[in-house]
Amino acid sequence: MKALSRLAAIAASAGGVLASAGAAWAGLGQPTPWQMDLQDSASPVMQDVAGFHFFLLWVIAAISAFVLALLLICIVRFNARANPTPSRTTHNTPIEILWTIVPVIILAAIAVPSFRLLFVQLEVPKPDLTVKVTGKQWFWSYSYPDSGNFEFDSLMVQEKDLKPGQLRLLAVDNEMVVPVNKVVHVLMTGADVIHSFTVPSFGIRMDAIPGRINETWFKATAEGVFYGQCSELCGKDHAFMPIAVRVVNDGDFNTWLNNAKQKYAIDNDAAHNALAATAAPAIR
Ligand SMILES: [Cu+2]
């Protein structure tokens, strides 16, 4: 009985955790110490992901509780002492039909929202902005192909260089900047090995593969900085290539964009000359 009451206590505290899921247990855009839950959502897709996650959690909890109850009934009522002469029953048609049909219904109930979510993630709505992300060993490069001829690198701020308020292992020198409440189409590729572009609060995670372009999208619903990390083991500094996305209002975004066009402009002539200088001499 002591074990049972202990079990009940654990279940009660787990229930408390579930009930308070959200604000207290997870940060917005960044992980928190002792986080128990997904990061808070800041995009419609992540809202759906979190909703589906909790729906599944309740389904799993109900199934586990049901199986546990059946086990307890068997242990208490059908042990050798309580039930010395067991029944020889081997078949029960109604129960066999039930235990076939009920799981099918449960799986169908899971499949419908699951496929709906997959389509929401995969079908990119008409974008307001396109950002191309290139994973490199071991940092990210961002360019905005429809917004100007510029590209910049985003490297992690080393621990010794951290300024107050900057997050260890997550802060970067140049953040990716996007406007709030706009559909951002993200193209990703890898320059050397496979990386994975992941921002938990936006519910996006997509491999950046050399030689091909993958795509995903998000619509940030809150301003702020949202962090993520490379999520594909990509070499020795895999853990040190964070992603930081700063979401700002339209005015601030345009100011940033105008600055970025100057600051990070790609000098086509210089690039061409550099390439010409490194080209192998023609064979005569
Ligand atoms: Cu990586």
Ligand 1 geometric centre to CA of 171 (Å): 16
Taking the model in full, what pTM does it have? 0.80
Ligand 1 geometric centre to CA of 222 (Å): 26
Ligand 1 geometric centre to CA of 136 (Å): 7
Ligand 1 geometric centre to CA of 143 (Å): 17
- Give CA–CA dist 123/161, Å, rounded: 41
- Give CA–CA dist 106/104, Å, rounded: 5
Which residue matches tokens 């964070």? 242
Provide the pairing of β-strand 195-199 with 139-143. unpaired
Ligand 1 geometric centre to CA of 229 (Å): 8
Number of helices (H), then strands (E), in the chain: 5, 10
Model pLDDT, residue 36: 87
Q: Would you write out the chain's pLDDT as a tens digit for each of its 284 residues? A: 455 556 555 555 554 444 444 444 567 899 988 888 899 999 999 999 999 999 999 999 999 999 999 999 999 999 999 999 988 888 999 999 999 999 999 999 999 999 999 999 999 999 999 999 999 999 999 999 999 999 999 999 999 999 998 999 999 999 999 999 999 999 999 999 999 999 999 999 999 999 999 999 999 999 999 999 999 999 999 999 999 999 999 999 999 999 999 999 987 777 667 666 665 555 55
- Give CA–CA dist 61/38, Å, rounded: 18
Ligand 1 geometric centre to CA of 21 (Å): 30
> Are 119 and 134 within 8 A, CB to CB?
no
Give the burial class of 135: count Cβ atoms within 10 A of its Cβ; 0-12 exposed, 13-18 middle, 19 or more buried: buried
Ligand 1 geometric centre to CA of 121 (Å): 22
Helices 93-122, 44-77: axis angle to 10 degrees equals 160
Ligand 1 geometric centre to CA of 223 (Å): 26
Ligand 1 geometric centre to CA of 172 (Å): 15
Ligand 1 geometric centre to CA of 224 (Å): 24
DSSP state of 241: -
Ligand 1 geometric centre to CA of 198 (Å): 10
